[in-house]
């Protein structure tokens, strides 16, 4: 059954990020992965092919989609936040992609996430980069902040993480994608979507501008492919950050 499950398409920005994440996961070869805030499960289906996979997702509608996508691959999805994660402290790799910027107290979150990792395991994060680029899209989807590499490193260090490695991704296409999203979010359609508190906007953020269908996935892969190669030339530039850090033994 698992071999017949097709991975859902990733939006262009997430497709660029996945190329970085995939290499890190392949290098680490974790036996077990926990994903925090898996959204609709598009990345989760890919991770579930690489290790024993567990995820938590607080939004009920997104959880239902993720559960339907990931269960046939043998993965487990729980409706809740990191406090509902089973077997804390035993995962080789704990991931949170585009989650930290949605949390008012990011320092407290990291302090609670790191103990979910087994001693010697790794925490793998992605966040939007460059605080000065905070725009209409960030507001629309409930972001509290964007990060500099130095600021993210400081947060991870304060949480007790070691062996921190941070790279940018998305150069050069990601800058254009950010501009397009900001214009969309600041226009009539984006204004119609926006409303409520940051927490309420966060709960629906993972469902906005998500592609669907095999054709859309193929088009995005082909369009993004050359830029996935280009971004490797400039790991010091790009509107997104990927960080990997260790929980000390």
Dihedral sign, Cα of residue 177, residue 204, residue 21, residue 219: negative
Q: Any idea how long the chain is?
A: 249
Can you give the residue ranges of every domain in the chain? 2-246
Return mean pLDDT, the chain. Answer: 92
**Residue 59 clears pLDDT 60, i.e. is over it:** yes
> CATH says 2-246 is which class?
alpha beta
Measured distance CA(64)–CA(105) in Å, rounded:
27
For residues 154-161, average pLDDT: 98
**Residue 3 clears pLDDT 70, i.e. is over it:** no
The pTM score is 0.92
- Is the CB of residue 10 less than 8 Å from the CB of residue 42? yes
**pLDDT tens per residue, range 202-243:** 777 777 878 877 778 888 989 999 999 999 999 999 999 999
**Residue 164 clears pLDDT 70, i.e. is over it:** yes
Measured distance CA(144)–CA(38) in Å, rounded:
19
**Residue 151 clears pLDDT 90, i.e. is over it:** yes
- Is the CB of residue 129 less than 8 Å from the CB of residue 69? no
| Strand-strand pairing, 117-128 and 240-246 | antiparallel
- Is the CB of residue 155 less than 8 Å from the CB of residue 244? no
**pLDDT tens per residue, range 17-31:** 999 999 999 999 999
pLDDT band at 14 (very low <50, low <70, confident <90, very high): very high
- Is the CB of residue 247 less than 8 Å from the CB of residue 161? yes
More confidently predicted of 218 and 32:
32
Q: Who contacts 179 (Cβ-Cβ below 8 Å, separation ≥6)?
A: none
**Residue 189 clears pLDDT 70, i.e. is over it:** no
pLDDT at 190: 62
**DSSP assignment, residue 247?**
P
Residue with tokens 């070869």: 29
**Residue 44 clears pLDDT 90, i.e. is over it:** yes
pLDDT at 199: 76
**pLDDT tens per residue, range 67-98:** 999 999 999 999 999 999 999 999 999 999 99
Would you tell me the crossing angle of helices 106-113 and 149-158 to the nearest 10 degrees? 50
**Residue 1 clears pLDDT 60, i.e. is over it:** no
Would you state the structure tokens that stand for residue 48, as one six-digit string?
A: 């579930």
Measured distance CA(184)–CA(203) in Å, rounded:
19
**Residue 115 clears pLDDT 90, i.e. is over it:** yes
Measured distance CA(131)–CA(155) in Å, rounded:
15
């Amino acid at each position: 059954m698992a071999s017949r499950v097709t991975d859902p398409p990733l939006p262009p920005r997430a497709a660029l990020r996945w190329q970085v994440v995939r290499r890190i996961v392949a290098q680490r070869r974790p036996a077990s992965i926990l994903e925090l805030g898996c959204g609709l499960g598009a990345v989760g289906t890919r991770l579930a092919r690489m290790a024993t996979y567990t995820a938590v997702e607080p939004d009920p509608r997104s959880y239902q989609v993720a559960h339907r996508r990931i269960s046939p691959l043998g993965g487990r999805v729980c409706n809740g936040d990191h406090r509902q994660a089973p077997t804390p402290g035993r995962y080789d790799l704990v991931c949170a992609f585009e989650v930290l910027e949605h949390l008012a107290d990011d320092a407290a979150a990291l302090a609670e996430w790191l103990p979910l990792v087994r001693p010697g395991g790794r925490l793998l994060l992605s966040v939007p980069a460059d605080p000065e680029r905070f725009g209409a899209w960030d507001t629309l989807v409930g972001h509290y902040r964007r990060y500099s590499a130095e600021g993210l490193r400081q947060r991870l260090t304060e949480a007790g993480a070691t062996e921190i490695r941070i790279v940018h991704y998305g150069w050069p296409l990601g800058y254009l994608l950010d501009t397009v999203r900001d214009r969309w979010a600041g226009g009539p359609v984006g204004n119609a979507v926006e409303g409520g508190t940051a927490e309420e906007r966060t709960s629906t953020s993972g469902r906005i501008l998500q592609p669907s269908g095999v054709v859309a996935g193929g088009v995005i892969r082909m369009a993004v492919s050359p830029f996935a190669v280009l971004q490797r030339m400039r790991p010091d530039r790009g509107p997104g950050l990927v960080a990997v850090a260790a929980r000390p033994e």
